[in-house]
Amino acid sequence: MDARARARRVVPFALDAWVGVLTVVLLWPLLTGSGHPLARDLVFTPHQPFRAAWLGLGSTPARAVPLDALVSAADVVVGGAFLARLSLAAILLLAGGAAHRLLRDAHPAARVATAGLAVWNPFVVERLALGQWALLAAYAACFVVVACSVRLRRVAGGSPRERGRVAAGLLVALAVAAITPTGAVVAAGVAVVLAWARGTRLLALFVAVVVQLPWLVPSLLGATGSTGDPAAVDAFAARAERFGGAVWSLLGLGGIWDAGSVPPSRAGVLGHLGSVLVLLVVVGGWPHLRRLLPDTAPRLAIVAAVGLGLAAVATVPAGAAGVRWLVEGVPGAGLLRDGQKWLMPAVVLVVLAFGALADGATTAVRRRSPGLVGTLATVLVLLPLAILPDATRVVWPTVSPVTYPADFTQVARLVDGSEGSLVSLPWAPYRVYPWGSPSAVFDPASRWFDADVDMSDQLTVGTTRLVGESPRSASVGAALARVDTSQGSAAASDELRQLGVRWLLVQTDAGARPTLPAGYVERFRGPHLELYESANPIVPVARSGKTQVILVVGTDLLVSMFVLTAMVVATRARFTRRRELLAGMLPRTQRGS
């Protein structure tokens, strides 16, 4: 192997070191501390039992399908503490590593700059601060989807076996993105547009549809297909982080609806500078990106433009009205309500354009003033950090781990495996614990106990209180509301029993103590949790019909079979290519037959 070939194999792993450094910086509290991350939407427990709701067989929309099912399966092997660290680190490493490998023909300085921006940009930082790691997994997988889609298009004229091997790799990449429905939709769009060619159209469409089935089937069957509150469109629309409007913030790769997830620097000069630099990167880097990815850049630009349009549509009065109509009338259309998440393809394009522009600048400087290449490379590598210097200020509070009180384990011993559901009180989806993060966190009881957990799904965003989407949650909430009315707690208790509510869990340090209905007997009292059981529980009727269960479980098993087979095929093909490469490096007389 000559020096150039050796360098091409070693350089990517050397560049991964910079990705590793940024990953450690962003996740420092999590990687150096003990316990479980518990803040905002980032909720990990020591063990997450499997429930039918994880497959979309509950009464809530399938927005975490199949994510929760996969977490439950992984928890059996590694446990929640290790899984949290592995998942978040792997996501950032995948994003940076896959991004710079897409520009394998660029200068190493340009590639390391690409890797840095893939990890350290407003979109990643804001979503990580909100705790939405599954969406970031889809973002990271999009870089791999781009590579696999391009490869599939290039073998369009090859043999069916060759196309099948490449399609297998694409299916695996799409499966990673599809752990959340939004990721499945975005990655599928990227794959279809980039892989579309004669001979690959059906393959691209097939793998794109397969990864939608785990969330799409339960939604279509009505198990989780309820419509949403149109007020959620305005509540979750992209927001302006500074003067200039929401679109200006989106152009800077930010604009998330939650102000608490935005680094303070985004509101000032650095935020404006970030938007300006994104525009300069796209315009200035476009010719170089066309040179590095000639057939891919125009197609990726189309997907990015569509994503930007979806992100911005709810910020325009006419567009917001259209989205409200869809959310209110079409089951599953609630996916559209969080506009900024559709920015993913645009972020991928900007990252690659930045690397292409850096490659062009490095090449020009090397020709005219070789001594300045090192200086330019340093500036390019540090530029993402300079534009967003306070990323850790919003990320660290979210990823800092906490230690759960022993009360949770004590309650689990009593309720795990029992019939009937558990109601988590106070009746609110988010709560603040004095022993945890200062930020409100999604109720961990929803994932801790091996029992069906009923909780409020009425979110409060700013001053807007949204109507929930779960009919069962609404029924339980209405029964609880009757405790303090003239109808009395006895009527509320009877209604809860009819709904199959066996347990009442009161998290005493997570809010105002609620008034409990009559007929529930204390079974545990600790400093943080209290548990009450119905004196005469009624065994509940199954919430999902037999046909729904068969169709949903059958679909999931079929998709799992496809993905596992694709993993075997893709892995085998990769080892075959490596073996052929090693054989080619040997003298001809030593290669064997």
Q: What is the pLDDT of residues 226-271, one digit of tens each?
A: 667 888 889 999 999 999 999 999 999 999 999 999 999 999 999 9
Q: Please tell me the predicted confidence (pLDDT) of residue 329.
A: 79
More confidently predicted of 156 and 211: 211
Q: Please tell me the predicted confidence (pLDDT) of residue 593.
A: 36
pLDDT at 391 over 60: yes
| Cβ 120 vs Cβ 391: under 8 Å | yes
Q: Please tell me the predicted confidence (pLDDT) of residue 9.
A: 67
Which tokens go with 168? 């297998």
Which residue's entry shows tokens 């429930």? 51
Mean pLDDT of the chain: 90
Dihedrals φ, ψ of 14, to 5°? -65, -40
Q: Please tell me the predicted confidence (pLDDT) of residue 587.
A: 47
Q: Please tell me the predicted confidence (pLDDT) of residue 575.
A: 65
Q: How confident is the model at residue 591 (pLDDT cuts 50, 70, 90)?
A: very low
Q: Please tell me the predicted confidence (pLDDT) of residue 61.
A: 76
Distance of CA 353 to the CA centre of its chain: 23
**Mean pLDDT, rounded, for 208-219:** 93
**Mean pLDDT, rounded, for 317-333:** 85
Tell me the helix, strand and coil percentages in the chain, rounded to 5: 65, 5, 30
**Mean pLDDT, rounded, for 363-388:** 93
pTM for the full model?
0.93
CA 27 to each of CA 91, 131, 145, 326: distance values in angstroms, whole numbers, following the listed order: 11, 12, 25, 38
Where exactly are the structural domains of the chain?
A: 3-401, 406-534
Q: Please tell me the predicted confidence (pLDDT) of residue 2.
A: 52
Q: What is the pLDDT of residues 448-486, one digit of tens each?
A: 999 999 999 888 888 888 888 888 899 999 999 888 765
pLDDT at 585 over 50: no
Q: How confident is the model at residue 199 (pLDDT cuts 50, 70, 90)?
A: confident
Q: Please tell me the predicted confidence (pLDDT) of residue 228.
A: 74
C-alpha dihedral (96, 98, 103, 107), degrees to nearest 10 = 40
**Mean pLDDT, rounded, for 20-46:** 97
**What angle do the packed helices 201-210 and 133-154 form, to 10 degrees?**
160
Residue 43 CA to residue 443 CA, distance in Å, equals: 8
**Mean pLDDT, rounded, for 384-396:** 97
Q: Please tell me the predicted confidence (pLDDT) of residue 583.
A: 44
Q: What does DSSP assign to residue 179?
A: T
Amino acid (one-letter) located at 367: R
Q: Please tell me the predicted confidence (pLDDT) of residue 582.
A: 44
Total number of residues shown for the chain:
593
Q: What is the pLDDT of residues 166-180, one digit of tens each?
A: 999 999 999 999 999
Q: What is the pLDDT of residues 492-505, one digit of tens each?
A: 889 999 999 999 99
pLDDT at 423 over 90: yes
Q: How confident is the model at residue 430 (pLDDT cuts 50, 70, 90)?
A: very high
Q: How confident is the model at residue 76 (pLDDT cuts 50, 70, 90)?
A: confident
Q: Please tell me the predicted confidence (pLDDT) of residue 6.
A: 55
pLDDT at 1 over 70: no
Q: Please tell me the predicted confidence (pLDDT) of residue 590.
A: 44
**Mean pLDDT, rounded, for 293-310:** 96
- DSSP H helices, 120-255, are 122-130, 133-154, 160-177, 181-195, 201-210, 213-221, 231-235, 246-251
| Cβ 456 vs Cβ 440: under 8 Å | no
More confidently predicted of 276 and 226: 276
pLDDT at 209 over 90: yes
pLDDT at 579 over 80: no
Q: Please tell me the predicted confidence (pLDDT) of residue 576.
A: 62
